[in-house]
Chain A
Amino acid sequence: MSTGFSRSQVALAVTAALGAAVLGVAPSITDAANNSGTYMSGDFHNHTTCSDGSISMQKLVKKSTGKDDGTFGLDWFVQAGHGGNGNRNCTLVEDSDLGTPAYPFVEGQGPTTTWQNSNPPIQPEGDVSGSPPNQNMWRWQSIQQYQYPLMEYLNAYLNRPLFIGVESVVAGHEHTSMSVITGQIPKKLSRVKLPNGPGYTPIGNANALAQWQYCFDRGNSDTSRGADNQWDCSVPGSPNSASPDWNAAAAKLNGANGELGHAKTVEALKWMKEFHSDASYYVPAHLERAGPFNPSGNNGFNVEHLRDFNNAAPKVAFGFETQPGHGASSDRGEYYPNRNTIGGIKVDSVGGTTWGGTGIYGAQIGGVWDALLGEGRSWWFFASSDWHNRGSFGPDDRRSTQDFYPGEYQRDFVMVRNSGNKPQPQDIVDGLRSGNSFVASGQLIDRLAFVACASYGSDRPTPVRDFVQNSVVESLALTAAMRNTDVDLGKCATLGEKLSVRPGADIVVAVSVRDPSGTNYSPYSFDNPSLLQVGIHQPLNAPVLDHVDVIRGMVTSLPKKSGDPDYAGAWPNTWLSNPDMSTVPAAAKNTTAALYKTFDDTTWSTVKRNSEFKTMVFRIPAVQASQYIRLRGTNLPAGVPYEIDADGNPLADLYTNASNTANLKIACTTVGTNVPANSDPYSAGSAPIDGCPNHLPVVNGQKMSAYDVAAWADLWFYSNPIFIEVKGSTQVAGVE
Chain B
Amino acid sequence: MMSTVFSTPIPDKNDSSSRHTTLSNWLREPLLHFILLGGLLFAIHHFLVGRADDSRTIIVDVAVDNQAKQLFKTSHGREPNTQELEALRRVWLDNEVLYREGLAMGLDRGDPTLRERVIFKALSVVDANVKLPPYDDKLLRDWFEHHRAKYDEPARYDFQEAVLSGDNSETAVRAFVVSLNAGTPGDAKAGLRVFKSRPQASIVQSYGDEFAETLRQASTGVWQAMPTRDGWRAIRLESITPPKPADYETLRGVVLQDWKDATAAELRSEAVHALARKYAIQIEPEAK
Q: Which of B84, B161, B205 contacts A95 (CB 8 A)?
A: B84
Q: How far is the CB of B176 from chain A (nearest CB, A)?
A: 15
Q: Which residue in chain A gives the minimum CB-CB distance to B263?
A: A701
User: Which one of A95, A112, A669, A703 contacts B76 once the chains associate, using CB atoms below 8 Å?
Assistant: A95
Number of interface residues of A (CB under 8 A): 63
A402–B114 Cα distance when bound, in Å, is: 12
Contacting pair A396 B74 (CB below 8 A): yes
Q: Which of A689-703 contact B (CB under 8 A)?
A: 695, 698-703
| Contact indicator B71/A394 (Cβ below 8 Å) | yes
Contact B206 A640 (CB under 8 A): yes
Contact A679 B124 (CB under 8 A): yes
Q: Which residues from chain A contact B120 at a C-beta distance below 8 Å?
A: 392, 401, 678, 695
| A391 CB contacts on chain B under 8 angstroms | 113, 116-117
Least distance between B149 CB and chain A CB atoms (Å): 12
Q: Given known contacts A96-B84, A107-B90, A646-B230, is B75 in contact with A396 (CB within 8 Å)?
A: yes
- B43 on the interface (CB 8 Å rule)? no
Contacts of B76 in A (CB 8 A): 95, 97
The answer, yes or no, to whether A598 is at the interface (CB within 8 Å) is yes
With A107-B83, A600-B193 in contact, is A646–B94 under 8 Å at CB? no
For B194, list chain A residues within 8 Å (CB): 600, 602
Asked if B74 and A639 sit within 8 Å, CB to CB, the answer is no
Once the chains bind, are B262 and A700 in contact (CB under 8 Å)?
A: yes
**A535 in contact with B199 (CB, 8 Å):** yes
Residue interface bits A629-673, CB-to-B below 8 A is 1, else 0: 000000001111110011100000000000000000000010100
Closest to B256 in A: A671
Q: Are A534 and B199 also in contact (CB < 8 A) when A112-B98, A134-B101 are?
A: yes
CA distance A703 to B261 in the complex (A): 8
Within 251-288 of B, Cβ neighbours of A (below 8 Å) are at 253-254, 257-258, 261-266, 268, 287-288
- Are B190 and A598 in touch, CB under 8 angstroms? yes
Quick one: which of A346, A401, A536, A603 contacts B187, CB cutoff 8 A? A603
Query: Is B257 a contact of A671 with CB atoms below 8 Å?
Result: yes
Nearest B-chain residue to A691, judged by Cβ: B257
Q: Which of B190, B193, B207 is A596 in contact with, Cβ under 8 Å?
A: B190
Is A10 in contact with chain B by the CB < 8 A criterion? no
Give chain B nearest CB distance to A655 CB in angstroms.
11
Question: A364 CA to B139 CA in the complex, in Å?
Answer: 49
- The residue among B161, B166, B261, B268 with the most chain A CB atoms within 10 A of its own CB is B261
Instruction: Tell me the smallest distance from the CB of A349 to a CB of chain B, in Å.
Output: 14
Query: Contact: B262 with A535, CB < 8 Å?
Result: no
- Give the CA-CA distance A547 to B265 in the complex, in Å: 38
A117 vs B91: C-alpha distance when bound (angstroms): 11
A683 within 8 A of B: yes
Q: Tell me whether A639 and B198 are in contact in the complex, defined as CB-CB below 8 angstroms, given that A95-B76, A112-B98, A603-B191 are known contacts.
A: yes
A230 within 8 A of B: no
Main secondary structure of the interface of B (DSSP, over half): helix
Please give the number of chain B residues whose Cβ is less than 8 angstroms from any Cβ of chain A in the complex.
61
Does A594 lie within 8 Å of B165, measured CB to CB? yes
With A396-B74, A534-B202, A701-B262 as given contacts, are A597 and B191 in contact (CB-CB < 8 Å)? yes
Assuming A95-B84, A701-B262, A702-B262, is B70 touching A598 (CB within 8 A)? Answer: no
- Given A645-B206, A671-B254, A679-B124, the answer on whether A535 and B90 have CB atoms closer than 8 Å is no
Interface residue A345 (Cβ < 8 Å from any Cβ of B): yes
- With a cutoff of 8 Å between Cβ atoms, the chain B residues found around residue A594 in the complex are 165-166
Proximity bits, A370-394, B CB within 8 Å = 1, else 0: 0000000000000000000101101
The verdict on A39 contacting chain B, using a C-beta distance below 8 Å, is no
A229 shortest CB reach to chain B, Å: 29
Q: Judging by beta carbons under 8 Å apart, are B116 and A392 in contact?
A: yes
| A37 cross-chain contacts in B, Cβ below 8 A | none
In the complex, what distance in Å separates the CA atom of A345 from the CA atom of B75? 46
Question: A residues within 8 A CB of B124?
Answer: 678-679
Cross-chain contact B287 with A346 (CB below 8 angstroms): yes
CB of B72 within 8 A of CB of A95, answer yes
Any A CB within 8 A of the CB of B156: yes
The CA-CA distance from A96 to B266 in the complex, in Å, is: 47
B75 to A701, Cβ gap below 8 A? no
Smallest Cβ-Cβ distance to A694: which chain B residue = B127
Is there a chain A Cβ closer than 8 Å to B22's Cβ? no
Inter-subunit contact B116/A596 (CB<8 Å): no
Asked if B180 lies at the interface with its beta carbon under 8 angstroms from chain A, I say: no
- Chain B residues with CB under 8 A of A669: 254, 258
Kindly state the separation between the CA atoms of A702 and B269 in the bound complex, as whole angstroms.
Answer: 13
Given A109-B91, A117-B94, A401-B116, A597 contacting B190 (CB threshold 8 A): yes
A595 (CB) vs chain B CBs: closest residue: B165
CA distance A652 to B121 in the complex (A): 29
Given A94-B91, A645-B230: A108 and B86 within 8 A (CB)? yes
Chain B 177-209, CB-CB to A under 8 Å as 1, else 0, gives: 000000000010011111111110111011100
- Across the interface, do B206 and A639 meet the contact criterion of CB distance under 8 Å? yes
* 8 Å CB contact of B191 from A341, A599, A645: A599
Q: Is B237 an interface residue (CB 8 A)?
A: no
Contacts of A117 in B (CB 8 A): 94
In the assembled complex, A330 has its CB within 8 A of some CB on chain B: yes
In the complex, A533 has a CB within 8 A of chain B: yes
- Of B91, B262, B288, which contacts A110 at CB under 8 A? B91
Interface readout for B69-91 with A: 1 if CB under 8 Å, 0 if not?
01110111000100110111011
Determine whether B228 belongs to the interface, using a CB cutoff of 8 Å to chain A.
yes
A101 at the interface (CB under 8 A from B): no
User: Which 5 A-B residue pairings sit nearest by Cβ, starting from the closest?
Assistant: A701-B262, A108-B90, A598-B191, A639-B206, A641-B205
Give me the interface of A with B, judged by CB distance under 8 Å. 94-97, 105, 107-110, 112-114, 117, 134, 330, 338, 341, 345-346, 389, 391-392, 394, 396-397, 401-402, 533-536, 547, 594-600, 602-603, 637-642, 645-647, 669, 671, 678-679, 681, 683, 695, 698-703
Cross-chain pairs A/B with CB under 8 angstroms, 16 sampled:
A95-B80, A95-B88, A112-B91, A112-B98, A330-B116, A396-B71, A396-B75, A401-B116, A535-B156, A535-B198, A637-B195, A639-B198, A698-B264, A700-B265, A701-B261, A702-B262
Other A-B contacts than A397-B74, A637-B193, 6 sampled, CB-CB below 8 A, are A110-B94, A345-B288, A536-B197, A646-B230, A671-B257, A698-B268
